[in-house]
Amino acid sequence: VVSDVPILGPGREFDAIRALVAAWGTAAQGIGDDAAALDVPPGERLVVSTDTSVENVHFRREWLTPAEIGWRATMAALSDLAAMGARPLGVLSAITVPVSWQGALGDIGDGIGEAVNAANTKIIGGDLSAGGELSITVTVLGSASHALTRSDARPGDSLYVSGALGGPALALRSWLAGEAPNAAARQRFAMPHARLAFGCGLSALGCTSAIDVSDGLIADARHLAAASNVMITIDLDAIPRFPGASAADAASSGEEYELLVTAPSLTLRDFTCIGTVGAPGEKPGVIVMSGGARVEFAGGYDHFSP
């Protein structure tokens, strides 16, 4: 689509942008101005989030193909729309490309384009910069007639999670041990799928709050509990596990991009009840139970830990 190829003056930076947009084809739309202009459906609110993926922080070069890096960064950002019950309107990708990655930029772009197509949305803008480390900041725009937040879980609700957890943790453990992960676990880390199809319907199904599992199920449940001022009790043994994952793996594995939701009751394929919401005691938080007894649980990823 010629009109979607950005009309820019000369220069190698602009050549790189032109090449990306040409490869994206119909996955890109209206790129080439100072900003993108788009319409939010009447009666809906705009929902927007931004998410950064940095080499050696969120992934290592030897773990993933360039296309997987682009896909994963995009899906990680889209997952925040799913957690808000929003439909995507468009994606902006700001890519910082070191010299050693310039040859891989086309493949990274392909991965971004494939993720955007899979989410049935468009790339509407971005930025391309030089830099010392590969970094992709994806901003996602969506809309919802009723945005699901973290703060409306109610005592008496149950807690549900989508999918089976622990795959990314298994893949990470293998890589960090210098081994190749098994293909299925690797796929869960490399090519996550934002739960957009579920997200848009959750509000209509009576869900009261939602968050996506990015820091780890228990860590994210703590965010829900804090935001909703409730005590959440989770049955460790009820968490669906990815084949080969332990209960602790499933409870702490990050970057799952599954959805953790509260509802008075929810019957939906792929969602499992794993806990209950009660009134807060002294302070809101998460109680983890296993075999009928309370267990201590530490875990989840913290970017600023030593």
Taking CB under 8 A as the rule, which mask of x and - marks residues 194-223 in contact with its own copies? ----------------xxx--x---xx-xx
Token readout for 32 is: 């080439």
The secondary element (H helix, E strand) that includes residue 128 is strand 123-130
CA dihedral 292, 271, 296, 294 (to 10 degrees): -20
Near its own copies by CB under 8 A: residue from 8, 22, 118, 287: 8
CB nearer its own copies, residue 27 or residue 136:
136
Least CB distance from residue 159 to its own copies, whole Å? 15
Q: Please, what is the Cα angle at 204 between 76 and 265, to 5 degrees?
A: 95
User: For its own copies, what does the binding mask look like between residues 138 and 177, x meaning CB under 8 A?
Assistant: -xxxx-x--x-xxx--------------------------
Q: Nearest distance from residue 244's CB to its own copies, in Å?
A: 27
Out of 1, 25, 50, 244, the residue judged to bind its own copies by CB under 8 A: 50
Neighbour tally for 120: CB within 10 Å: 10
96 part of the interface to its own copies, by CB under 8 A: yes
Structure tokens at 187: 């796929």
Q: Is 35 in the site for its own copies (CB under 8 A)?
A: yes
DSSP state of 4: G
Question: With respect to its own copies, which residue has the nearer C-beta, 113 or 185?
Answer: 113
Alpha-carbon gap, residue 136 to 52, rounded angstroms = 6
Q: Is 56 in the site for its own copies (CB under 8 A)?
A: yes
Interface with its own copies: number of residues (CB under 8 A): 79
Q: In 10 A of CB 295, how many CB atoms?
A: 13
Q: With the CA atoms of 229, 217, 219 and 192 taken in that order, what torsion angle do they form, in degrees rounded to the nearest 10?
A: -120
**Is residue 83 near its own copies by the rule CB under 8 A?**
yes
Q: Does 16 bind its own copies (CB under 8 A)?
A: yes
Q: How far is CA 35 from the centre of its chain?
A: 24
Question: Alpha-carbon torsion 129, 131, 134, 140, what sign?
Answer: negative
**Does residue 126 belong to the site contacting its own copies (CB under 8 A)?**
yes
CB of 185 to its own copies, least distance (A): 24
Q: Is residue 112 involved in binding its own copies (CB under 8 A)? A: no
Q: Is 7 in the site for its own copies (CB under 8 A)?
A: yes
Q: Report d(CA 223, CA 45) in Å as an integer.
A: 23
The reply on whether position 12 binds its own copies by CB under 8 A is yes
Residue with tokens 């950002």: 77
Question: Cβ of residue 183: shortest distance to its own copies, in angstroms?
Answer: 28
Tell me: does residue 132 bind its own copies (CB under 8 A).
yes
Q: Which is nearer to its own copies, 57 or 183 (CB)?
A: 57
CA distance 177 to 155: 42
The Cα 267–Cα 88 span in angstroms is 25
Residue 31 binds its own copies (CB under 8 A): no
- Paired sense of beta strands 87-97 and 123-130, if any: parallel
Within 10 Å of residue 228's Cβ, how many Cβ atoms?
23
| Binding letters toward its own copies, positions 227-266, x by CB under 8 A | x---------------------------------------
The reply to whether 304 sits near its own copies by the rule CB under 8 A is yes
Binder to its own copies among 2, 39, 62, 177 (CB under 8 A)? 39
